[in-house]
């Protein structure tokens, strides 16, 4: 199997160097780029298309939240692991809501970090139980305002299952035997019916409401 290609985004050189020393091909990972701020991260994410982006939150020029939004606009399938010193629940909910795949603190151990990277690369979400509950509560409140019944079609439920499984649009297309363009249309419809803005929220609602 090929190594997981990683982009490290942090304004502290020592942090970038430490992560790069840890995430080596020997551990099944390869650092393909480093960025010192969110603006560089957006440019390198577009140029390098890494498998996983490790993103700091507080950075000059453009912070991690702004960078995550910009990267997800360019590539909705981008997988971003937030690695930060801050554990505020509201901050974690915000970054996960805009499309991050995981939220980890910098005092986490090496094994925990590498497990998170592998899990995110496989399509799973990584966050603490308290962040998961807070995000689930926020999604439930938003959904209950105008979409209590959801009314997803059988095909949309199949697409939603693909989202929950962490598949890209192309992956869902191959699995269902339809075009990627058709999948994009179904994904847009699913997000609209669930009254959410991204795939992470859709996956959480599917699990919370037992839609599948």
Half-sphere exposure of 98 (CA within 13 A, CB side): 18
The proportion of the chain whose per-residue pLDDT surpasses 90, expressed as a percent, equals 49
Q: How many Å apart are CA 129 and CA 91, to the nearest integer?
A: 15
DSSP 128-181: -HHHHHHHHHHHHHHHHTT-SS----HHHHHHHHHHHTT--HHHHHHHHTS-HH
Domain boundaries, the chain: 4-133, 141-208
- pLDDT for 7 beyond 60: yes
Contact indicator for 193, 151 with CB cutoff of 8 Å: yes
CATH numeric code, 4-133:
3.40.50.2300
Residue 147 pLDDT exceeds 60:
no
Which residue(s) pair with 179 in the sheet? none
Confidence bin at 63 (pLDDT 50/70/90):
very high
Q: Evaluate if residue 26 carries a pLDDT over 80.
A: yes
What's the pLDDT score for residue 52? 97
- Does pLDDT of 117 surpass 70? yes
Q: Does domain 141-208 have CATH number 3.40.50.300?
A: no
Higher pLDDT, 92 or 75: 75
The pLDDT value given to residue 99: 85
Region 55-63: mean pLDDT is 91
Give the pLDDT band (50/70/90) at residue 1.
Answer: low
Average pLDDT over residues 32-38: 96
| Beta-sheet pairing, 29-35 with 4-9 | parallel
Q: Strands across the sheet with 80-84, in order?
A: 29-35, 4-9, 52-55, 80-84, 102-105
List the structure tokens of 141: 């409140």
Decide if 186 contacts 159 (C-beta within 8 A): yes
* pLDDT number for residue 85: 85
């Amino acid at each position: 199997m090929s190594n997981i290609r990683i982009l490290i985004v942090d304004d502290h050189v020592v942090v970038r160097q430490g992560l790069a020393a840890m995430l080596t091909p020997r551990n099944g990972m390869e650092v393909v780029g480093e960025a010192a701020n969110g603006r560089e991260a957006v440019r390198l994410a577009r140029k390098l298309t890494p498998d996983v982006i490790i993103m700091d939150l507080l950075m000059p020029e453009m912070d991690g939240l702004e960078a995550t939004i910009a990267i997800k606009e360019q590539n909705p399938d981008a997988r971003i692991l937030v690695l930060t010193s801050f554990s505020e629940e509201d901050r974690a909910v915000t970054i996960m809501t805009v499309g991050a795949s995981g939220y980890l603190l910098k005092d986490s151990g090496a094994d925990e970090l590498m497990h998170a990277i592998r899990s995110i690369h496989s399509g799973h979400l990584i966050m603490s139980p308290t962040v998961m509950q807070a995000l689930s509560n926020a999604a439930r409140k938003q959904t209950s305002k105008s979409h209590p019944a959801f009314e997803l079609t059988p095909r949309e439920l199949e697409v939603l299952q693909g989202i929950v499984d962490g598949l890209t649009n192309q992956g869902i297309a191959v699995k269902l035997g339809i075009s990627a363009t058709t999948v994009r249309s179904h994904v847009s419809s699913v997000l609209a019916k669930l009254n959410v803005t991204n795939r992470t929220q859709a996956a959480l609602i599917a699990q919370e409401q037992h839609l599948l």
